[in-house]
Amino acid sequence: MINPSKKGKTKMQSFALNTIFILISLSHLSIVVSSSKPLNPCNGDFLHTQAYRQMQNQTNTTHCKKLSSLQAQFAWNYHKTSHNQTQLNILIGTKLITNMGWLAWGINPDLPRMVGTRAIIAVKVPNQITPSVNTYNITKDIQLGCKFQPSGIDFMVQNMTGVDDKDVGFFSVFATLVLPQRYNVSSLNHVWQVGYCVDGLEPKMHETSLGNLDSKEVLDLETGDCQNIGQHRRHMRKIHGILNIIGWGTLMPLGVIVARYFKQFPIKLDPCWYYFHYCCQVVGYILGTAGWGLGLFLGHESKYYTFHSHRVLGICIFGFTTLQILAFQFKPTQEDEYRKHWNVYHHFLGYALLVMIPVNIYKGIKLLKPNNITWKWTYNGILVLLGVVVLALEIVTWAIFLYKKCCRKTAEESSPRRVEIEEDNKGQTKEGSSSRTIEVQE
């Protein structure tokens, strides 16, 4: 094997760094562009619910918007009272077509997060015409599994009503809030949540999908503008997914294909195959490591929810690929007696990664449901393309191998054979006796 020179390695590393810089710049640009999109107004069945029509009849200044997750839509209007407080009317609805579940909406005076939220929760149970609606204080103890009971909150709530509009399939909550001055209407931290498990009238833990984790934003009640916390996280997840799919899921397998099929057989491209193999592995490692680091950051931001298997596999993949990259620097020479052991280790770890990487990528894609169809089919297409390339090269490899074997056999059969005939007076060859060699041409 011909090792690349230091100059060649420096060029490939420079190319890898330039590639990662360009991709990160494009990803950052996509965040800026997508963050400037206008808000989505309410539409569809929500505008035809009885609760929304009643709210609209009360005032002509009702705002309405589609929330970013859980298929929820939100309407509100407000005015200042004589005591310099804010009277806020809210209506939130979502498609809750099951016979059991709950819908929650609340505001947090400190941060846009679930812990510390003053919430209004409507519980829907079978054989109950009117949903049960109460106020709740959401604390850390609730997320640790403590019993979740109704409690008073630090502002007045009136006219709490839960509506199960079966005609249009919307489950809605309406309430009137009287907010003290500490709640800033120009940057109100509001959160919402949907769950499908109820114990009596007690709401139980909701799902830990990404849609449930993203259900929070900072809303300006006057203009309807919002700082969507979940939207920024979704863009970061997109970058995380793109970097890992390109780095771990595409370039790493491509480097393996080059090393297997262009080293000697069926096509010998020596030493070009090594440079391309090295470049694919290094660029893939840089991109994958950047995506892995971003995934760790996202996991740190999600303090109360962790996707354990996806996280553990990601750490293993990073560790194994790091060992593979280090293997380039500590590779024994061809004459070294340890070279065969190095080859076994390098090949075993490489093929193990080829199994682990697609499994973990699909685990990550599964977390994006229900908006994961595009991701799934895109990666399916990448794997199918790589599989077709491998299958074609494998067929060519075996075809060339069998053809050369057949040609070699034919050549051996048609070549002159030397027949050695030994004569002995007693019909046996004695030690030291001479023999005659006759060449027979076939």
In CATH, what is the architecture of 232-402? Up-down Bundle (1.20)
Region(s) of the chain under CATH 2.60.40: 44-227
pLDDT tens for 358-391 read: 999 999 888 887 778 889 999 999 999 999 998 9
Output the pTM of the full model. 0.67
Q: 73-80 and 156-165 as β-strands: parallel, antiparallel, unpaired?
A: unpaired
Whether the pLDDT of residue 36 is over 50: the answer is: no
Q: Is 79 annotated as a binding residue?
A: no
Region(s) of the chain under CATH 1.20.120.1770: 232-402
Q: Is 277 annotated as a binding residue?
A: yes
Q: Are 325 and 272 in contact (CB under 8 A)?
A: no
pLDDT tens for 291-325 read: 999 988 888 777 666 788 888 999 999 999 998 88
Q: Residue 137, SS3?
A: strand
Residue 26 CA to residue 20 CA, distance in Å, equals 10
Distance of CA 190 to the CA centre of its chain: 27
Give the residue-averaged pLDDT of 150-171. Answer: 85
Q: Which residue has the tokens 């019909």?
A: 427
Q: Is 300 annotated as a binding residue?
A: no
Residue 203, amino acid: P
pLDDT for 304: 60
DSSP assignment of 173-194: EEEEEEE-TTS-TTSEEEEEEE
Tokens of 375: 């991701």
CATH number of 44-227: 2.60.40
